[in-house]
Amino acid sequence: MSKLSNLAETLIGSEIVRLGNAINERIRQGEKIYNYTIGDFDPSIFPIPQRLEELILESYKQHNTNYPPADGVLDLRKAVGSFIKEWEGLDYGTDEILIAAGGRPLIYTLFKTLVDKGDKVIYPVPSWNNNHYIHLTDGQHCVIEATPENNFMPTVEDIAPCLPGATLLCLCSPQNPTGTTLGKEQLESICDLVLDENRRRGERDKKLYVMYDQMYWTLTYGQTQHYNPVSLRPEMKDYTIFIDGISKAFSATGVRVGWSLGPAAVIAKMKSLLSHVGAWSPMAEQKATAKYLGETDNIRTYLINFKSELNERLVSLYEGMMSLKNKGYAVDAITPQAAIYLTIKFDLAGKKTADGHTLEDQAAVTAYLLAEAGLAIVPFYAFGAGKQSPWYRLSVGTCKKEEISEMFGRLENALSKLS
């Protein structure tokens, strides 16, 4: 093949999708695998809300199959504004809201709107896909290595030295892949840093914006609370662009309805870019979602059950990992806080298998867990962390409760063979 563009030649595909495809192929070949890789839901376990499904079918029967407006159906933008006002206390007009086919097109158009070649973009690792979007926009990577001591969330001390000259700070809470969150005081301090940095900049200088991905904000457990920059510091409204939608809140990843909230001037440019990409949310789904977002009692009932089922799985898996740790195995986990993820650790590099082979590196550990325990999880290196990080993301979106005990039996047997 002849040489393609530099972007195409240097682009790296999604490690998560690649891993998921490989696992699915092994399952098709008959292997028993506990597949906790993809951040998605099995619809047979976690279907979308019945009422939302009814509204979508009804919308198609009403022949809502033409092109939607470039910024989204007005009824949906109004409904999103009312929804976030009621549930989060955020006040956004229809010209400050943009609808797209999930979060990815919104993140892409946000990057293309704000980031010029060579612009500094700050992001923590592990985190989802920030490294790829910076590559797509030819930005400058400014990477923060988050640590387990801080629940893999960036701290004020991490961020402060990076701010001078930066164009974009990427934050996600609840975080993919860790399932952890930014605390109130932590986020307040980060907001104060951003506001101070923007006050220092001249009128002609580019401002520092925050991309705040809160796609999982409805899915918090126990005493965990979700916070956002604008509620904590209203002045942050001028510098914050939210990424949000129904994908994770309503187990509706394939329905493809997402939205951004932000300054009208930024949203307008994102809309223009989106009109060229054409990654619009389908008309029928937009119309249906507009109606569903107003059904507060239905949503509340759905979320109570949905969150209970997710939390039960996360807690069971966490307790299973802690049981193994207490038995002396080199494993660990972070207490679940939010989203559909559990952060777990397998510190097994250097150990020998029953046949005398040494697990030379973390890739060998991952392969061993898959081969011996049938456990498929995503290493943090797929989210930008170091290749030898012993930490992993476990997703419960396809987890069957009745298989958890069985999985831990196989896992303990695999761990017991190592020396």
Structure confidence by residue, pLDDT tens digits, 36-83: 998 999 999 999 999 999 999 999 999 999 999 999 999 999 999 999
In this prediction, residue 265 has a pLDDT band, given cuts at 50, 70 and 90, of very high
pLDDT at 15: 73
pLDDT at 16: 75
Q: What mean pLDDT is reported for the chain?
A: 95
pLDDT at 1: 59
Mean pLDDT of 393-417: 97
Residue 19 predicted with pLDDT over 90:
no
In this prediction, residue 18 has a pLDDT band, given cuts at 50, 70 and 90, of confident
Share of the chain above pLDDT 90, in %: 91
Residue 28 predicted with pLDDT over 90:
no
Residue 87 predicted with pLDDT over 90:
yes
Q: What is the 3-state secondary structure (H, E, C) of the chain?
A: CCCCCHHHHHCCCCHHHHHHHHHHHHHHCCCCCEECCCCCCCCCCCCCCHHHHHHHHHHHHCCCCCCCCCCCCHHHHHHHHHHHHHHHCCCCCHHHEEEECCHHHHHHHHHHHHCCCCCEEEEEECCCCHHHHHHHHCCEEEEEECCHHHCCCCCHHHHHHHCCCEEEEEEECCCCCCCCCCCHHHHHHHHHHHHHHHHHCCCCCCCCEEEEECCCCCCECCCCCCCCHHHHCHHHHHCEEEEEECCCCCCCCCCCCEEEECCHHHHHHHHHHHHHHCCCCCHHHHHHHHHHCCCHHHHHHHHHHHHHHHHHHHHHHHHHHHHHHHCCCCEEECCCCECCEEEEEECCCCCECCCCCECCCHHHHHHHHHHHHCEECEEHHHHCCCCCCCEEEEECCCCCHHHHHHHHHHHHHHHHCCC
In this prediction, residue 30 has a pLDDT band, given cuts at 50, 70 and 90, of confident
Residue 310 predicted with pLDDT over 80:
yes
- Range name among 111-120, 319-328, 353-362 with the lowest pLDDT average: 353-362
In this prediction, residue 23 has a pLDDT band, given cuts at 50, 70 and 90, of confident
pLDDT at 68: 97
Mean pLDDT of 358-375: 94
pLDDT at 273: 97
Structure confidence by residue, pLDDT tens digits, 169-199: 999 999 999 999 999 999 999 999 999 999 9
Matching CATH number, 50-294, of 3.40.640.10, 3.40.50.300, 3.40.50.2000, 1.10.20.140: 3.40.640.10
Mean pLDDT of 96-116: 98
pLDDT at 20: 75
Q: Which fold has domain 6-46+300-416?
A: Aspartate Aminotransferase, domain 1 (3.90.1150)
Show me where the domains of the chain are located.
6-46+300-416, 50-294
